[in-house]
Copies of this chain bind each other. A is one copy, B any other.
């Protein structure tokens, strides 16, 4: 029996209390900092633009010289300088007359529209002033943000280091993908690949160990030798059988605070803490592992990485009754139909990975509901 059986939401809360935002910092070239999170406020040490700049092709003039100009009463100005967009507005001039409002007549400029002071001039510092805070600590750096930082001549930025996650696949009959053909009774170790690809996508660095056999001592060693990581994910051996070593090892090496959650699929999971490091045990059944990845590991990684994005969600109508286990939080796989409605994929068996292949996402059914009725609007979380 599960020793520390928990509700799914309570289990997640306990996990997140132990997965704090990391404090490690690294300095990167600005152009390499895409989607990283600023670890300090970013301030400008310059004005942008650095000078009064023409915002249009036209002619630099003194605005007072254009006073009253109109098509039926043009002004003729002797003192003007042709300008292109982006050029420095010359000293002593304070407005740009657009090409369509002016024409050169020999030595003078005929102006047919009044230009007030700083008309068509991008003033020094109008975008950013020296000393302005342009991004605050915690801001994710998007492409236009890195462009702005670069425009200010800031070549290096400080960002939070990515969490380092170690994945330890365990199991006696597992073979590395592509290593060799399988003997009867063997299977390829695929959960490690799935977990690595998701965890990297969510913003962490991942290191995957060799497959560790179902051997208490070897699993213990694998944990001990990876305590430099920010999080350890053990795959397999998480249930309550004789050889389900992982949860027992956690309680011996540190604290086991969750073992078994009211989550379907994904019940046989376990969370522990070894030497201050969160350790998460994923079940070996891939669909159960996927539930755990989305419900627990994604928010934990995001929190450690100072990121707060959510997976994309779409509202849709469900075409058939969708049942779930009472008292359990359920993640029900669904597929969109041509007409935009969704169909639940009610396949039992957490081993059936092809049910995910056919799914576009999943619907979260809260513990207190027993599903949704045909025609109900549901929120579909799209698989990333």
Smallest Cβ-Cβ distance to A155: which chain B residue:
B178
The reply to whether A239 and B143 contact each other, CB–CB distance below 8 Å, is no
Bound CA span A349–B30, Å:
25
A263 within 8 A of B: no
The reply to whether B144 and A290 contact each other, CB–CB distance below 8 Å, is yes
The reply to whether B177 and A155 contact each other, CB–CB distance below 8 Å, is yes
The reply to whether A84 and B243 contact each other, CB–CB distance below 8 Å, is yes
Q: Bin chain A's interface residue count.
A: 35 or more
Interface centre among A50, A142, A144 (most CB of B within 10 A): A144
**Residues of B contacting A190 in the complex (Cβ-Cβ under 8 angstroms):** 147-148, 150-151
The stretch among A106-114, A160-168, A353-361 that forms the contact with chain B is A353-361
Smallest Cβ-Cβ distance to A312: which chain B residue:
B312
The reply to whether A351 and B55 contact each other, CB–CB distance below 8 Å, is yes
Q: Which of B122, B194, B242 is in CB contact (< 8 Å) with A57?
A: B242
The stretch among A11-19, A73-81, A181-189 that forms the contact with chain B is A181-189
Contact indicator per residue, chain A 140-161, by CB within 8 Å of chain B (1) or not (0) = 0011111110110101000000
| Contact flag A84-B241 (CB < 8 Å), given A193-B31, A357-B135 | yes
Interface centre among A51, A122, A353, A354 (most CB of B within 10 A): A354
The stretch among A126-134, A226-234, A254-262, A370-378 that forms the contact with chain B is A126-134
Please provide the 6 A-B residue pairs with the shortest distance between their CB atoms, ordered closest to farther: A57-B241, A143-B197, A147-B190, A147-B194, A88-B185, A144-B356
